Structure formats: structure tokens, C-alpha cells
Amino acid sequence: MRLLAALHYLLIDLLYEWGRSLLTVGSLALIACAYLLITSLSVAFQSFGEQAPPTTNLLLISSDVLDPVDSTLTLELLDNLRRYAEQAYGPGALQAAVPIIFRHMRVEDSVVQLFAVPLDQAARLKELQLVEGRWPEGAHQAAASRWLAQQHGWQIGSRFEVYARTFTLTGILDSPGRKTLSLWMPYTAGQEMFDLRDKFQMAFLRMRSDIEPQEARSFLEQSPLLSDQYAVYLEEQLNERYTQVTRTLLALTSMINLVALLVITFGAYNAAWLTLAERSPEIALLQVLGFSQGNLRALLTMRLLLLSLFSYVAGLGLAAWSISRLKNASSWSIQGVQLALQLPLLQVLLGVALMTTFCLLGAWMSGREQRSTELAALVRYH
């Protein structure tokens, strides 16, 4: 039977049973949509962060705060800590103590991490690299992470609003590890914008290189200056925990992806099996008329492929629509890092390939059952 003739009859058949076809396409489309959304989430997690390089930095923050924004530290506390460390380890024990004003801000519909820091010190401690432009200097200048600049198509000199103030982009920077949407400005600019005198949210500390970081952490935490009000973390441990969370999320999405693919296989198999079960009189008739097992297998496979293709296109449309809605809502972020949901072409094509493969598998599995049924028995009982 020629391909076009087969397609002609399959389409007639699918339209004739439009209710059942719609139900099958609808259910498979939902599964395909779920698969694509999870894939999109997985891709977002992959671009979320990488293994950060080793560091001996410590992070000082108020204890028992869920969001760093709720933390409050003072410059006086940093001075006292510096003296306390020198008493124990000698002069220059606390090499650096960098105050950070930190906020989550909405900038042009993105949730952005805003850092107001002494930029020269922060650049050294956080290994920030200027990839374009120069460091901001004035109260209305800022540098953006590469991911943020890319997301909004910003160039050096671009202007944008933050906290009802207009800023000019002077630099684009990169930092190892997290791929955050972050904005960096001078410490004084943050103080002025948020009307802060000597208060800030966090501080990066670095002890002298001969002091072991874990020992330094214990030493500082036991200090009466911090008591239970403040906590000290090893940045490397935080990074490790962050990487672990990212890996767990990736593993989770991979597992859910696998489940979605299994459901697609089962759905395809079920659709094929139902076709065979409900249409056995018609299949028997086609065999009587001289359709070979190969012809019938090809027809069944084509029927499933058509259903799968329609389902996948519908699922893709649904997923694209959902992602656009979620993007518009702009509220998808984890730990202040926005999830950039997207459907790369490669993932879409991979989905087509997987769905096709699993449909063929479904057709093959149900076709095996059909082959084991004798034609005479089918004709006799119908």
C-alpha cells in the first residue's frame, strides 16, 4: 500500500473517531507538555551554576535569617572582630572584611541580586572579572553580571531603573561559580540609595593564609562578640551545599523526565493496544483482504506516529505558552537566582526523537501480541 494512500486512510480513520483521537492526543499532549516543562526546568538548573573554585573566604551574617536581606551587621562589629582576631593571631590576622549591602530587586522584570560593596576589595575576594567596560564609581553607576546583561541586551552605557533611580551600566563582569543575575555598585551608592549609615547585610572575611579556614571559623563563632546573634560560614561549604542542591534538583528533574518518558511509552503502548483490541475485526478483515503482517504493522506504527506527532506539537504549544506565562509572571527564582526557563531547539528535537522511539516501541510491543493471535480465530469470533 502506498504511503500517501495509507496516510489518507489513517487520517479518515482518526477523524471518524475524532472523540477518541482527541482524547488520545490530549492525554499524550499533556504528558509531552510535562516532559518539555521539566526539560526546560532541567536546562534552567544546568545554567544555574557550576562548581565554584576553592576559596578560603568566610561569610558573616545574622543567624536565624531565612533571607540574607533580613540580616543586619555594623561596621563597628567588623572593627571589633578585627581587634579580636589580632589578639589571638597577631597583627593582620583578619586580612579583609568586606561589608555587603544586599537586596533582591526587580529590575526590568527580572529579580536581580544587588550588591553594594567596596568594589576593589570585593573584586579580589570574589574573583570578579571585568569582561567589558570599567568599574562603576558614582552613585548612579553599576556593573552587571554577564547573564543579566545578556538577558536584557544591555550594552555599556545602557540605562535602567533601580529603586526609582536611573543607573548607567559602566561594566559587565563575570564571576566563577553561580550564574546569577546580579548588579554591582559602589558601597557608598548603596548606602545613599537605601539610606543606611553603617549597617549592611553580610560581610566577606578573609583570615591570613597561615590560619586554617575551619579553625578561623570556629574561633570567630566562639567569640563573645558574635554570641548567638551572628553566624560564620565557610564560603566553600556554602558553595558545596549550593552545588549539592543544584545536583539534587538536576537528579530530581532527570528522574521526573524519565517517568514522563515511561508514561509516554505506556501511553503509546496503550493507544496501540486499544487500537488492536477494539479494531480486531477490522484488522482481521484487512488480513483476509491480503494485507500482510508487515502492511498492518506499518499502518499501526504510522497511526501511532501520527497521533504522537499531533500530541507532541500540541504539547509543545502548551509548554511554550506555559513558559511564556511563567516568564511574564517573573517570579521563578531560587535563592535570588532567577530561573531562565527556555526550550532549546536541541531539547525539542530530542523530545521528538524520544517520543518517536517510544511510539515505535509501543507499536512493536502491541504488534507482538497481535501476531500471536491466529487470523482464523479473529474471523471466527467476529
Partner 1 sequence: MIIQARGLEKIYRRGAQQVAALRGVDLDLQAGEFAVILGPSGGGKSTLLHVLGGIDRPSAGQVRVNGFALESASESALTRFRRDHIGFIFQFYNLLPSLSALDNVLLSLLAKGWGWQAARQHGLEMLAQVGLAHRSGHRPAELSGGEQQRVAIARALSVDPALVLADEPTGDLDSATANELLELMADLNRSLGKTFIIATHNQETCRFATSLFEMRDGRLSPKGMS
Q: What mask, x for binding partner 1 by CB under 8 A, covers residues 230 to 269?
A: ----------------------------------------
Which among 11-19, 64-72, 199-207, 325-333 is the span making contact with partner 1, rule CB under 8 A?
11-19
Residue 12 interacting with partner 1 (CB under 8 A):
yes
Least CB distance from residue 378 to partner 1, whole Å?
9
For residue 376, the minimal CB distance to partner 1 (Å) is 4
Residue 282 binds to partner 1 (criterion: CB under 8 A)? yes
Span of 10-18, 32-40, 85-93, 345-353 interacting with partner 1 by CB under 8 A: 10-18
Of the candidates 66, 164, 289, 329, which one interacts with partner 1 according to CB under 8 A?
289
Chain Cα centroid distance, residue 247: 11
C-alpha cell at 335: 535563592
Find out whether 355 and 308 touch, Cβ atoms under 8 Å. Answer: yes
> Contact 144/169 with Cβ under 8 angstroms?
yes
Q: Determine the Cα–Cα distance for residues 114 and 112; give it in Å rounded to an integer.
A: 6
Output 1 or 131, the one with its CB closest to partner 1.
Answer: 1
Which residue's CB is nearer to partner 1, number 62 or number 287?
287
Q: Kindly identify the residues of this chain, within the stretch 290-309, that bind partner 1 according to CB under 8 A.
A: 290-293, 295
Measured from the Cβ of residue 193, the count of other Cβ atoms closer than 10 Å reads 21
Minimum Å distance from CB 290 to partner 1?
Answer: 2
For partner 1, which residue of 72, 287, 335, 347 counts as binding (CB under 8 A)?
287
**Number of residues binding to partner 1, judged by CB under 8 A:** 26
CB of 179 to partner 1, least distance (A): 54
**Cβ–Cβ contacts within 10 Å for residue 96, how many?**
16
**101-112 residues labelled b (16+ CB within 10 A) or e (exposed):** bbbbeebeebbb
User: H-type helices in the chain, by residue range?
Assistant: 3-16, 18-46, 75-89, 119-125, 146-152, 187-193, 213-221, 235-278, 280-288, 293-329, 345-371, 375-381
Comparison of 158 and 287: residue with beta carbon closer to partner 1: 287
Q: Least distance (Å) from partner 1 to the CB of residue 51?
A: 58
Window contacting partner 1 (CB under 8 A); options: 13-21, 75-83, 114-122, 197-205: 13-21
Distance from chain centroid for Cα 85: 41
Residue 319: closest CA among 250, 260, 371, 246? 260
What DSSP character marks residue 53?
Answer: P
Chain positions contacting partner 1, by CB under 8 A: 1-2, 4-5, 9, 12-13, 16-17, 281-282, 285-293, 295, 374-376, 379-380
